[in-house]
Amino acid sequence: MSAKKFPRFRWPTITAAACLTAAVGIWLAGGRPDAGSSRTATPQTIGNDTRRDSGAAELRSHLSTASVKEFPGLMKQLLQVRNPETRQQMISTLMQRWLTDDPQSFGVYLDELVVGEEQVWNRLAPGMMAALRELDPAIPKTHLVQSLAERMIVMAAETAPHDALGWAREWLTGSNLDAALGAIAAEMAAINPEAAIKVISEVKALSNRMEACAGVGMTLGEQNTELGLSWASSFALESEQAYALSGVLSGMADRDSSRASAEYSKAVEMMKTRFRERVLADRAAAESEVEEEYEGLSPEEILKAELAKPDPNLVYLEKAAYIIGSALARDNPELALEWAKALDIYQGKNVALEAVFEEWAANSPQEAWQAYLQQPDRGSEVAAKIFTSWATTDVDAASEAALSLGAGPERDSAVEGVAQGWVDAGATPGEIATWSEQLSSHSEKDRVRAIIASESASENPVFAWGQLQQMHNTARRSELFHEIFPSLAENNPKVARRALAAIGLSRVETEYFENMLAH
């Protein structure tokens, strides 16, 4: 209630000690005494403060006596404390015990927070950092605690990248610091792109640098295209250039898909030209030297073989090709199709076509299907994308079209797409199993049974195992067995033992699953 609505009272008999007691109660309960506030304590508010103060005191007392099993529940209560300083102090106290007594269980707790998508990192991270400052200096340097701190800092970077950067530099070392800096740079780009670019320069491992480049590039593409394109071209290594440019173009796609597609086409052609020039220069430098793989070939044949190789860095742009293809297809699928077809196979053509037809089929499946049928070089991967999108909106029409195809990889992929799209639309595994009875070939049945088994693995592992038993593709069956067995062992150990005896795994794999059953 504001000062304008709450009348101001005077308490001439209140003592300094009473004022101090009320202030401490407010502080512990979640609010600070506000010198500018016009609210005055009343008997009701003093009562509330006393109860809150008592609750905080109980929590503090429990911090020193709780068992490790009680730590997750206790942490949940601490995260709800309203006052930031009180909350951080108590979380720090609990974290000191947790990281000392059982840091591995804290890792399990973090896993559960991630799975539950709990948004608590901006409250949990400061408490953990405060705890690290109070621990035996050897504990924060252990491999496990370093890994836990890295996870915490990276998650906190989503909302507080500058704080996360300070914590990373304070507590992390080696590969943990390097990985964290890369992740923080990607988050920081949204609020301070110049600072994010500087952070990337500190990242040492190429894999971490490339991931950071992609993340920062995505943000720059969304917010500042010119800066993003200029920055991406500044890298000395073409691999880093490609990763950064892929991010920039991906970020541009929703805002300006036409320019993004033009910049993509220009970039891949330029990379192709530069690669050709490097090949020619290398062959000239090699003179008469011939690698083992080219023995017996003439210089002209060797050069032709070398020029036929693609620039390996082109693969880093494929994510951008997919995102741009989708964005173009939302506005003009015919134009998007022409753009994708103009690329060569090494420049992301297949990925772009998949994106275009997937987006097209989501909006106009019949049109997308007819356009696909007119393509001279149809691919089964594209068919799968079309039918997955189609089945999410009209499974009957998608099923009829898929079953009208002749036997072969294209039909297998189309049937698989129908099953996956139907799952995405909310169909039960039982419904899809019934539908699959009309399928003719073992290959298409196996693909659908794989989808059914994967979908039902957690909630109905016995049913999933029944699907695996009917599969003819033994390699795929063994792969899926790894997915369903943990739930099967937990829900029905008797069936799990029979399944393990029947599946025919290697001795090492069998021992691994037997050990799972024993526990």
Boundaries of every domain in the chain:
19-32+41-213, 376-453, 457-519
Q: What integer pLDDT is reported at residue 301 of this predicted model?
A: 81
Alpha-carbon span 481 to 218, nearest angstrom: 38
Residue 156 predicted with pLDDT over 80 = yes
Would you say how long the chain is, in residues? 519
Please check whether residue 386 is in contact with residue 399, taking contact to mean a CB–CB distance below 8 angstroms: no
pLDDT digits (tens, 9 = 90+) for 29-82: 444 444 434 444 444 443 444 445 456 778 888 898 999 999 999 999 999 998
Q: How many angstroms from the chain centroid is the CA of residue 373?
A: 34
H or E element, residue 20: helix 16-29
Residue type for 501, please?
A
List the single range of 45-49, 229-233, 237-241, 465-469 with lowest mean pLDDT.
45-49
Helices (H), 233-308: 238-253, 257-286, 299-308
> Cα separations (Å) of 142 from 181, 280, 484?
19, 51, 35
**CA geometry: angle 150, 151, 154, nearest 5 deg:** 80
> Cα separations (Å) of 425 from 46, 360, 412, 421?
55, 17, 20, 6
3-state secondary structure 382-441: HHHHHHHHHHHHCHHHHHHHHHCCCCCHHHHHHHHHHHHHHHHCCCCHHHHHHHHCCCCC
Alpha-carbon span 257 to 18, nearest angstrom: 66
Residue 368 predicted with pLDDT over 80 = yes
Please check whether residue 468 is in contact with residue 477, taking contact to mean a CB–CB distance below 8 angstroms: yes
Percent share of the chain, pLDDT over 90: 77
Alpha-carbon span 207 to 418, nearest angstrom: 36
3-state SS, residue 419: helix
Token pair belonging to 412: 């297998």
Alpha-carbon span 519 to 515, nearest angstrom: 7
Residue 123 predicted with pLDDT over 80 = yes
Please check whether residue 361 is in contact with residue 332, taking contact to mean a CB–CB distance below 8 angstroms: no
For residues 333-339, average pLDDT: 97
List the single range of 25-39, 95-109, 378-392, 417-431 with lowest mean pLDDT.
25-39
pLDDT level of residue 104 (50, 70, 90 thresholds)? very high
**CA geometry: angle 88, 94, 99, nearest 5 deg:** 115
Residue 15 predicted with pLDDT over 80 = no
The Cα diameter of the chain in Å comes to 107
Taking the model in full, what pTM does it have? 0.77
pLDDT digits (tens, 9 = 90+) for 411-421: 999 999 999 99
Residue type for 241, please?
Q
Alpha-carbon span 5 to 224, nearest angstrom: 47
Q: What integer pLDDT is reported at residue 90 of this predicted model?
A: 96
Residue 510 predicted with pLDDT over 60 = yes
Q: What is the dihedral of CA 19, 25, 28, 30, to 10 degrees?
A: -90
Q: What integer pLDDT is reported at residue 287 of this predicted model?
A: 66
3-state SS, residue 17: helix
Alpha-carbon span 242 to 249, nearest angstrom: 10
Q: What integer pLDDT is reported at residue 130 of this predicted model?
A: 96
Residue 9 predicted with pLDDT over 70 = no
Alpha-carbon span 98 to 96, nearest angstrom: 6
Q: What integer pLDDT is reported at residue 293 of this predicted model?
A: 65
Q: What integer pLDDT is reported at residue 47 of this predicted model?
A: 43
Helices (H), 102-142: 103-115, 121-134
* Residue of 161, 83, 150 lying closest to 122 (CA atoms): 161
Q: What integer pLDDT is reported at residue 491 of this predicted model?
A: 92
For residues 159-166, average pLDDT: 96
In whole numbers, what is the pLDDT of the chain averaged over residues?
Answer: 88
Q: What share of the chain is helix, strand, coil (3-state, %, to 5)?
A: 75, 0, 25
For residues 13-18, average pLDDT: 39
pLDDT level of residue 429 (50, 70, 90 thresholds)? very high
Query: Distance from first CA to last CA of the chain, Å, rounded?
Result: 57
Residue 16 predicted with pLDDT over 50 = no
Please check whether residue 258 is in contact with residue 329, taking contact to mean a CB–CB distance below 8 angstroms: no
> Cα separations (Å) of 259 from 33, 249, 255, 262, 268?
55, 9, 9, 5, 14
CA atoms within 13 A on the CB side of 169: 9
pLDDT digits (tens, 9 = 90+) for 255-297: 999 999 999 999 999 999 999 888 888 877 876 666 666 777 8
> Cα separations (Å) of 441 from 415, 416, 431, 447?
11, 12, 19, 10
Alpha-carbon span 198 to 193, nearest angstrom: 9
